[in-house]
Amino acid sequence: MKKWLRDGDGLLQGHIRGSEEIFGPAAGLVHSQALIQMQVGSNTPLGIIAFGSRNPDMFHHDQAIDHVGFLAEVVERCIRLWLQIPV
């Protein structure tokens, strides 16, 4: 997890080449990314939600991460409900 997120819970980067470990065969199309740590439940492994863009200026380190973080929280809750995982 720290390999991609460094010291925080999220990372916004522009003008990059996407990682094949995250984006698979589409990695070459990714030129900016938003990576957010996810914790679906207290007994589940950590995960990452990754948004990639072809636009190198879509995500960058000067942007606020709160909107992408909120979306990650919504996805966490949806997964938790879908899998019936207690908080």
pLDDT in tens, 21-34: 999 999 999 999 99
Span 2-83 CATH architecture? 2-Layer Sandwich (3.30)
Domain residues of the chain, as ranges? 2-83
Using pLDDT thresholds of 50, 70 and 90, give the confidence band for residue 72: very high
Prediction pTM value: 0.88
**Distance of alpha carbon 40 from alpha carbon 54, whole angstroms:** 28
Residue 26 has φ and ψ, to the nearest 5°, of: -85, 0
* Spatial strand order in the sheet of 47-53: 10-14, 32-38, 47-53
